[in-house]
Amino acid sequence: MKPVDPRLLKYAAAARGFFILAAAVGVLQTAVVIAFAWFLTDAVTGAIAGRDVGASLIWLLGLALLRGTLIAASDAAGMRAAAKTGTQLRTALVRAIGRLGPGWLAGRNRATLAVTAGHGLEALDTYFARYLPQLVLMVIATPTIVVVMWLNDWPSGLTAIITLPLIPLFMILIGIATRTVQRTQWQTLQRLAARFADTVQGLSTLRLFGRERRAAAQIEATADGYRRETMKVLRFSFLSGFAMELLSSLAVALIAVAVGFRLLAGDMTLEVGLFVLLLAPEAFLPIRQVGVQFHAAAEGVAATEDIFDVLDQAGPAASARRAVHDSGDFPPTAVVSTENPPATAGSPELCVEGLRVRDLPPVSLTASAGSLTLVEGPSGSGKSSLLAALRGAVAFRGTATFAGVDVRDLASAEWVAWAGQAPGLIRGTIAENVALGGIVDDDAIRRALDEAGAEELDPAQELGVQGSGLSGGQAQRVAVARALYRHAADPSRVLMLDEPSSALDAETEARLWKNLRRTADAGAMILLVSHRRSARQYADRIVDLGVWV
């Protein structure tokens, strides 16, 4: 676990500005500490000598107020930087997931990502407000104060130089021991969140089979494991704090004892001795604070490491998605029939040539704006896999381009409006499910529902978890309305529908086909997967992926 990961400066611009500000504050704090020690020495020695120390006392009061102001400013700047950095990293994470595509996301636990982007980044408050300022102060203040001590009394400076490296050495040794424990704690928290999310999602099934108590017991066991790991981290934190306090106290004591004996022997003046004694604790203070705050900020550091790993993967995402190459020229096996295909001059085309997912037969097709392309075939022939490949959810061999650009180089959200076989509804109103995080346009949502054959549904109707409150057919039509709503927001997107009528009756299905035909005639490019023969009469192109039996 690095004290400062260079990738933080790369991915979060707010962190770069904060380091500059922290350095400026650190320089001022160092100057204030040295000046405070000097004026305090002057006040004490002046009082002993019977001089007027009024000016020194005023300076002491002003410096004390200035130091408090600098500390408060550093905390405030740290909190603002943590908030801005968290926002920037969350935004970068969402964009990275979009670049990596659904295929990458399908192999990850979304609850774990949510914990990292939520609770994990919230822990950056301590990292920025307390740990980083002390780290910067250690780099600036500690060597500066040691140099001042050396210039005033070289034996004291030499003692500090010899004893100071012992503290970082013990910090490294303890850090090596605690790294595994802290990482285990963070992974346990992620596992707890993932298990809880999975249990809630499958609660109805668990209750149906009478296994809800077992699931609850597993969550309890994971939570207890997280408690134990947290206590281990606390024990190591206390051990680290004790070791650093002990070492720094012994180092300051060595300097104090040496100064005391030399004062008794008359080898140094009171002014120099007192000044050095006042500076000695300040030289060790930033190092001690870095060790203390390091453990408090460890959770935030672990979260950023996970996010950086995702961002690093997203960098070469395009080449990674293109890593699966053709192993040969596959002749297209799909049978394509064309019945009066419309052609729109200058419109983008979806061109698929020899696309092959795993061991499924290769597929070739061309779709253009204003056309409805029907993909049909028996179960297992690769209809859904074709759409998954175009969306970036699975790797494939062959070529697939949209408007001349390889679809593996495109984020699916930028060019696809999609509805799959699982509706994927969430808790909220029907309107919120149709908009799904986008701008809620009541008129556009009403039109999308009507086109999806869901005229009877009220957009204001509240749905429960996973869209409970609707029948299977109604949920499917809401999912189709979501794709239509997204397509209406950007008609250049390809409208991809995977078995949109599987839960519909014949009358509603016919109405949906007619509405899709009108949408295509209006200029939409539609790629429809269906095993229903009734869709054939509305299609411009039919891609048959197998022999019907």
Q: Which domains does the chain have, with CATH numbers?
A: 6-315 (1.20.1560.10), 335-544 (3.40.50.300)
The tally of CA atoms less than 13 A away on the side-chain side of residue 270 is 10
Helix (H) or strand (E) holding 365: strand 363-368
Q: What is the pLDDT of residue 327?
A: 39
pLDDT tens column, 45-61? 888 888 888 888 999 99
pLDDT digits (tens, 9 = 90+) for 273-301: 889 988 988 888 887 777 777 766 666 77
At residue 176, the pLDDT reads 64
Model pTM score: 0.60
Phi-psi group of 363: left, alpha or beta (phi > 0 → left; psi -120 to 50 → alpha; rest → beta): beta
> Would you say 388 and 394 are in contact if contact means Cβ atoms under 8 Å apart?
yes
Low-confidence ranges of the chain (pLDDT < 50): 317-346, 547-549
* Beta bridge mates, 402: 350, 405
CA distance 274 to 60: 16
Q: What is the pLDDT of residue 336?
A: 41
Instruction: Please tell me the predicted confidence (pLDDT) of residue 401.
Output: 92
CA dist list (Å): 102 to 111, 307, 326, 391? 15, 17, 22, 7
How much is the CA Rg of the chain, to the nearest whole Å? 33
Report the pLDDT value the prediction gives residue 103, as an integer from 0 to 100.
Answer: 67
Question: Which residues, at least 6 apart from 281, have a Cβ–Cβ distance to it below 8 Å?
Answer: 248, 252
Measured on CA atoms in the order 476, 480, 482, 483, is the torsion positive or negative?
Answer: positive
Alpha carbon distance 255, 155 (integer Å): 9
Q: CA-to-CA distance for 185 and 191, rounded, in angstroms?
A: 10
